[in-house]
């Protein structure tokens, strides 16, 4: 419960918990800390992703964004914001009026390699293509990791900053982050 406490702050509305191994997803309201503790303890041998939503969160959506690709469900968790012009660009590319920036970025990542080339904004993300899990951030986003594959947007004991502008596949077998590609931070930032 330690890392959940780290990511929980007074204005939190809800927590999303996703277990990679059995592909189960839960949405838990903030007032139900016993439920969160129970879910964590029941699934402690599985990789868990916990996303806390603050009162300042403008989105009506609970992450992760989900889309099918090649018969696999893909997921994206994002901390940050894309610029207004980037949202318009991604809407045009995807031929959609969808305004949820997390789903727009997910669509962008569904090419041959999950690399956010040319994406303008501030972001730190976890992405699952249904087979593997990836972590990345640009120079404006923050992700902290440790040798047990814990990923958090805030520093925690024993953590180090995940280098910016690289996409890392999380290798659960070898217990390490493997760089699979690079991108550049776009410096427009007119969010």
Let me know how long the chain is. 191
Higher pLDDT, 173 or 30: 173
Pairing of strands 151-152, 160-161: unpaired
Q: Where are the beta strands (DSSP E) in the chain?
A: 14-19, 24-29, 48-53, 65-69, 72-82, 121-128, 133-137, 144-145, 151-152, 160-161, 166-171, 176-182
**What's this model's pTM, rounded to 2 decimal places?**
0.82
Q: What is the pLDDT of residue 69?
A: 83
Residue-range domains of the chain with CATH: 1-57 (no CATH), 63-191 (3.60.20.10)
Largest CA distance in the chain: 44
Q: CB count, 10 Å around CB of 78?
A: 26
d(CA 126, CA 75): 8
In this structure, the strands spanning 48-53 and 65-69 are unpaired
Q: Phi and psi dihedrals of 80, rounded to 5?
A: 135, -165
Taking alpha carbons only, the member of 26, 10, 29 closest to residue 18 is 26
Q: How far apart are CA 107 and CA 153, in angstroms?
A: 23
Report which listed range, 15-19, 55-59, 90-94, is most confident.
90-94
pLDDT tens-digit readout, 111-166: 888 899 999 999 999 998 888 889 999 999 999 999 989 898 889 999 999 999 99
SS3 (DSSP) at 5? helix
Q: What residue spans of the chain are helical by DSSP H?
A: 2-7, 33-42, 84-93, 101-109
């Amino acid at each position: 419960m330690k890392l959940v406490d780290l990511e929980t702050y007074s204005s939190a509305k809800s927590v999303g918990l996703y277990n990679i191994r059995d592909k189960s997803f839960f949405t838990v309201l903030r007032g139900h800390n016993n439920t969160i503790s129970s879910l964590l303890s029941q699934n402690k041998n599985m990789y868990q992703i916990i996303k806390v939503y603050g009162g300042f969160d403008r989105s009506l959506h609970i992450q992760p964004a989900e889309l099918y690709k090649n018969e696999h469900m893909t997921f994206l968790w994002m901390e940050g914001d894309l610029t207004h012009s980037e949202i318009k660009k991604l809407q045009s590319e995807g031929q959609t009026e969808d305004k949820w920036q997390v789903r727009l970025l997910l669509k962008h990542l569904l090419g041959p390699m999950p690399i956010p080339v040319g994406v303008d904004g501030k972001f730190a993300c976890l992405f699952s293509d249904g087979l593997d899990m990836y972590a990345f951030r640009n120079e404006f986003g923050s992700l902290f990791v440790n040798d047990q594959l814990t990923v958090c947007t805030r520093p925690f004991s024993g953590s180090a900053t995940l280098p910016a502008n690289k996409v890392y596949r999380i290798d659960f077998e070898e217990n390490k982050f493997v760089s699979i590609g690079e991108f550049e931070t776009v410096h427009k930032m007119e969010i």
